[in-house]
Each structure stands twice: as structure tokens, then as C-alpha cells.
A and B are shown apart, each in its own frame.
Chain A
Amino acid sequence: MSTQVTKKLASAWPGTRWWLVGAQILVLIALALGLPFLLHTTGGSLFLFSALAPLLVFVAIGIVLWVAIDSFRKRHSLFSLESYEPDQVIIRQGEPGDCAYFIQSGEVEVVQESDGNQVVLRILHAGDYFGEMALLSGQPRTASVRALTPTKVAVLGKQNFLTMLQMIPSTREDILTTVQERAMRSVRLSERSSKSSMR
């Protein structure tokens, strides 16, 4: 089930990571506007520092607040429903994991990127789940997941996910078995791809 794909992970909505980078660049500009104001105060430098810089700062704070609230909401989500269009990225490899996803309808593909190559690990359907590995390991997401068809997922926050594992032993065993299988398959795939790249 290993397929080389060339299509980039496209999404109309950039990940929270890029929003945070943007917010920090806005603040960087706002702080930099303070230096000419301090070192050579003119009408222009004073106007930029007293009018434009606060505006940039408040926009940046708004972005960080939005990311923080969104992160908190996801972390404590209790099966809230989210919809994704085809090609939309649901989770990104390398980002921190704060929730697990249970597919209600539609189809998604799990894509792992290594050494510039993107490999489709598996296709998941309604009834499957993903995003659980990062919650259990505490590591960043090991793969990206992209919707192939219009998809609805139920989102379970990290805290509720871990509580569910504690409260329902049968679910815990089922999920741990799935995690083990997926991890072993990922290792086999990465070994195979490293051998092929050595050849």
C-alpha cells in the first residue's frame, strides 16, 4: 500500500504554525518601529510607533489568543464534529497532537513525508480513527492526514481521549493494538524506502 505521491499537502487554511510565525513577524515589525522613534524622533517615526505599532501588536495578540483558544478547545473537545473538503489537510506531520479523530463519513489518506518523498501509508474510511499515536507518545504528529472525499470527523480532545482509555479497558486494548500495528507498519515502510533509496 506504499504509493509515491507528488501532490503537495494543499490546504486553503494554513496551519496554526504559520499563523504564529505571522504574529511574531508582526510584533517584530512593531518593535522595530520603536527604534527610529527612540533614536530620532520625528513626526513620521512618532506616528508609525504610536499608531501603526499598537495596531500590529493587537492583531498579533488576537492571533495568539485565537490559536490558544482553538488549541484549548481541541484539547478538551468531546466528539465535536468537523467537516473537511477533498484535499484539505486535517492534521500535519510535525505539529503537536492535541486530539484524536473518528471518521463519521468520507475517506482520508495518511501521508508520511521523509527525505522529501511523500508516501501514502494507508487509506481510512468511516469507522476508522487517526491521530491517537501523538496523544499516547506525546511526540509531534508522525504523519499528515488529508481528506480524499467530503469527510466528517468527530474530534476527541487529548484529556477526554486519555480518560476514555482509562475508563473503558476494551477500548484501550483495541486502540493500543491498532497503534502497535500502525507503528510496525510505519517502521517496515521506512526501512523499505531507505533500502530503495540506497540502491
Chain B
Amino acid sequence: MGRAMALCLFLFPALTGVEAYGQDAGAAFHKDLVDYYGSHLLLGILIAGIVLILYNLVRYRGRIEGPFSWGFLLTGVVALPLASTMFGMLLVFDKAEKVEFCGSCHAAMQAYVRDLTNTRSESLAALHFKNRFIPRNQCYVCHTSFGLFGTVQAKIAGMIDVGKYYTRTFRVPIQMREPYRSDDCLKCHAEAVRWVGRHENVKDALLTGETGCLLCHGKEHPAHILSE
């Protein structure tokens, strides 16, 4: 039994394609260790838990016969599921930031993802993507506010979206909740030498919120150019 568990924990993840989903294909310097090892560890825990519970159900059929059956029961029902929940939550936060994830939910978002990854597009999103101004998680970086609270707000909004999607309570056409906030541009661009040089006249107005980035860039360089 112990050998089988060890096999599950260490060999099975290697035999599956989990690494293909654990990290974007690319060089080692783009490897997210939390995602890479977390995915492997979580898969090992899931497989070990499923094997242990099936063994418990077949061997003991719900009976408690001494310390071994208690041990198997507590490991299968308490320890491994709690571990999977803890590691799972780490990965949930990590995986929910990926572009593929954002595009997986709403059919309406596919056009935005296509524009983002289109190397011929000149939209702001595509420029940021193809030039690697933002190396990873491009949707997430542009659409969440700076810092921890930005992440929490994004998660709450995302869960509301998922709830609306599966209860079919969303309204079409899909629209942003609120106009795009200049703060989400400025969190990266503000005080950059190139930005300061080009925005000398409006710098103070932008930083105080009197004017917004999209007043100029929305028409001239739209964030997304949608062909359909």
C-alpha cells in the first residue's frame, strides 16, 4: 500500500500531461515554481486520496476495525482532502490569473483574447502582449487594481461573474461594470521617463484624476480592436 501511494505521489504526475497545463510552454526563466510544483503535488495528493478511499471502501466497506482502519479513514477523509484544499487554493489564485482562464468562460471574451494574441493587431492590448511589456497574465495585470486589494476585488468580481454565467442571470451585450480606470494604466506607466516626457502637459491632471488615459487613447489606440 505504501509503495502504491509513493508511486501515486511521485510517478503518476510525471506520466500525465500536467506540466503542459502547469506552466506556459517556454524557457526555464519563465517557470512559475508555485504553479509547476503545486500542480504536481496537488495531482499526487488527489490520486493518492482517490486510491486510498477506493481501497478503504473495498477493504473495510465503512467498518471501523482497529487502529489501521481509523488511520486509513482519517488519512483519506481528513488529511489528504485538507491538504488538497490548501494547495488547491494556492493554485486557484495562480491559475485564475492566466489569459487562457479569462478566455475560457465567456464566449464574448474570445474576440478580446484573439485580438490580444494577434501579432498584426495594433490595439493597446496586442502591443502589450506581443512586445512582452507585460510578460504573463496580461488580462489580469491590466484589469486588476494595484496590490492585494486589487487581487481580492478581482476574485470577488470573478466569482460573481461565474455565478451569473452558470445561473444565466447575465445581460447581453456583456459590458464592463464601470469605465476603465486610469489608475490601472498609471500603476505601471506613471513616472516612467518616456511617459513623463510625453505627458508633461497632462501629467498632473492624470495623476489627480481630473482627466483619464482613455480620453485620448480610447479612440486613437483602442484597448481592443474587435473584428467581429
Contact = CB atoms under 8 A, between A and B. Distances in A.
By CB atoms of chain A within 10 A, which of B54, B98, B104 has the most? Answer: B104
Interface in B86-107: 88-89, 91-92, 95-96, 98, 100-101, 104-105
B21 A20 contact: no
Interface string A7-26: 00000000011111101110
B63 A39 contact: no
Contacts of B64: 16, 20, 67, 71, 96
A20 B16 CA distance: 31
A46 B95 contact: yes
B77 A61 contact: yes
A121 B16 CA distance: 57
B101 A41 contact: yes
A71 B100 CA distance: 49
A126 interface: no
A31 B84 contact: yes
Interface residues of B, number: 46
Interface stretch (A49-57, A107-115, A170-178, A179-187): A49-57
A46 B46 contact: no
A43 B164 CA distance: 12
B81 A60 contact: yes
A44 to B, nearest CB: 7
Interface residues of A, number: 41
B14 interface: no
Contacts of A49: 88, 92
A95 B63 contact: yes
Contact of A32 (B17, B39, B50, B61): B50
A21 B57 contact: yes
Main SS of the interface on chain A?
A: helix
Contact of B89 (A41, A50, A64): A50
A28 interface: yes
A21 B17 CA distance: 32
A37 B77 CA distance: 20
A49 B96 CA distance: 12
A38 interface: yes
B82 interface: yes
Given A43-B105, A64-B74, A30 B81 contact: yes
Contacts of A47: 159, 162, 166
17 contacts: A17-B62, A18-B62, A20-B64, A24-B77, A27-B53, A31-B80, A37-B91, A37-B95, A38-B18, A38-B39, A39-B21, A43-B158, A46-B92, A47-B159, A47-B162, A64-B74, A67-B64
Complex A-B, nearest 7 residue pairs according to Cβ-Cβ distance, in ascending order: A43-B105, A17-B62, A21-B62, A42-B104, A57-B81, A20-B62, A34-B46
